[in-house]
Structure 1
């Protein structure tokens, strides 16, 4: 999988150029104005080196955008949760469901929260590319699949579409990647529309023997993401690689049936985020403050459902 730099870890001049191409002049001006005050630094996030970018991204006068960093926290809601609101707990604190070993599961994208994407308020067209490792595969390579989603910022796109069906889980757990590209290029928008057709909304069925056709489909999905993200008017906003494991290793999220919430947050705000302050409200189909359901989670986030 070709490495693509998220907008949140680009060099300042590259981020400013992309913001202007997207049409977000306010963010570009603010970032450019602060660039001289903060020398470029090498940043390490999520265990891997990041490209140099100006720390002025943290100090934009309108607040720190959640896309500024590539870090995501993972919360969990049990499958049997009930009541008018469901508590969210850290996925690294739950007990793994060992009975899922060797079983075939379905992964659904339940919600895609577009609250702080480059470009500001208004409609956002998003290319979502997912990768998963299936135990039926003769190699360790992931299968990749793309879908298109649309949302008006701030707000949600999608409501329960399947991404992968009949993914066979091995003893290591569920290994996935998720990449979200904000698409503004006019030519790409036409191609993106085909990915929102019913055939793509049905998800990728991995039932039966591993099929040779999976390789070209994977190459197509990866190629689209790379091509789209490299164009000036488009931006890779979220890029998550994770494994939900069966081992109770500290800091590692564990695999169970249920719902997983992935919240994008700047690295230096991780210690300030507390899952106990947030909950899922079924009547709103949204994540909001536990104390006030009228105050939604304003960070970019997406929600995956794991079930048989």
Structure 2
């Protein structure tokens, strides 16, 4: 299975190594934030969104039009989801800033486990996006796992993003534009041997691309959504989960931000026209019907 190690992320490197990477992709302006002679360290930690390796998790109830995002610690698990099939979709990916100029080519990989009868299936799925800073790709409900069976211990859901600057990888990433990857992984109540080659292809391709010198892993996260009920766990129920790339978790206060349901966007409280200075993703967990038309 793929590695989801934050030590592989660009933000885990020292300032000199980050500056060297930025220079290698032609981003001299960004490199100055990390060059020692520019006093870059104090500025880089505070102002470069791609430098963060941590995360904060928020929750939005299904169908909610309220502006307030709920802290994950206030969410109650729904044990009725045990043994049910759910779908996980990517509803929003906002990029405040990524390394490099112009349009960014970003590779995302997601992993999980399907509790099929008699066997646990290891899953891996990849998506490719293009977006500029202070915006995001035009997506809504992009399917990832369709029909994921929830076990008694909940679900494990991991993700990572890779900034792709090696132009030679364009042809390789074209595989993620095929119908097999555009429609998400559709799962059944029984183990599906046919999924293993697709999972292996996604893992191997993303792994190889992430290791090339002009490319860099930007963020990785792991969500263990369970029914524990402890003060430190993340609980599973239908709704949307906001994953924020930030190292400010100990100082985070969701009251400082609002969710615009109409515009599908997060913004500072009372400032609907302003975008936040951090990267974030929004994943929806919702019921799955095997009779629903394929997306």
Q: Does 1:292 align with 2:271?
A: yes
Change (3 A) 1:291 1:192: same
Counterpart for residue 60 of structure 1: 44
Q: Does 1:123 align with 2:103?
A: yes
Aligned counterparts of 1:79 and 1:186: Cα–Cα separation in 2? 40
Which range moved further: 209-218 or 87-96?
A: 209-218
Q: Does 1:209 align with 2:190?
A: yes
| 1:271, distance to aligned residue in structure 2 (A) | 2.8
Aligned counterparts of 1:203 and 1:142: Cα–Cα separation in 2? 15
Q: Please give the per-residue CA displacement for 1:77-107, whole angstroms capped at 9, x wherever unaligned.
A: 001312xx53201112210011101100000
Contact 1:93 1:253 in 2 (8 A): no
Change (3 A) 1:79 1:124: same
Q: Please give the per-residue CA displacement for 1:231-279, whole angstroms capped at 9, x wherever unaligned.
A: 121111111112111111112111110011000012xx22332111212
Q: Does 1:73 align with 2:91?
A: no
Q: Does 1:132 align with 2:97?
A: no
Structure 1 outlier segments of 4+, above 6 Å:
none
Contact 2:257 2:267 in 1 (8 A): yes
Gaps of 5+ in 2: 288-295
Q: Does 1:165 align with 2:168?
A: no
TM-score (norm 1): 0.85
Q: Please give the per-residue CA displacement for 1:147-173, whole angstroms capped at 9, x wherever unaligned.
A: 111112110112221111000000111
Output aligned runs, 1:81-230, within 5 Å.
Answer: 81-82=64-65, 85-120=66-101, 122-136=102-116, 140=120, 142-157=122-137, 158-230=139-211
Aligned counterparts of 2:194 and 2:220: Cα–Cα separation in 1? 25
Contact 2:44 2:51 in 1 (8 A): no
Q: Secondary structure at the match of 2:132?
A: strand
Counterpart for residue 260 of structure 2: 281
Change (3 A) 1:34 1:257: farther
| 1:76, distance to aligned residue in structure 2 (A) | 0.1
Change (3 A) 1:238 1:60: closer
Counterpart for residue 49 of structure 1: none
| 1:198, distance to aligned residue in structure 2 (A) | 4.1
Q: Secondary structure at the match of 2:278?
A: coil
Say which of 28, 32, 39 aligns to 2:35. 32
Contact 1:112 1:156 in 2 (8 A): yes
Output aligned runs, 1:250-261, within 5 Å.
Answer: 250-261=231-242
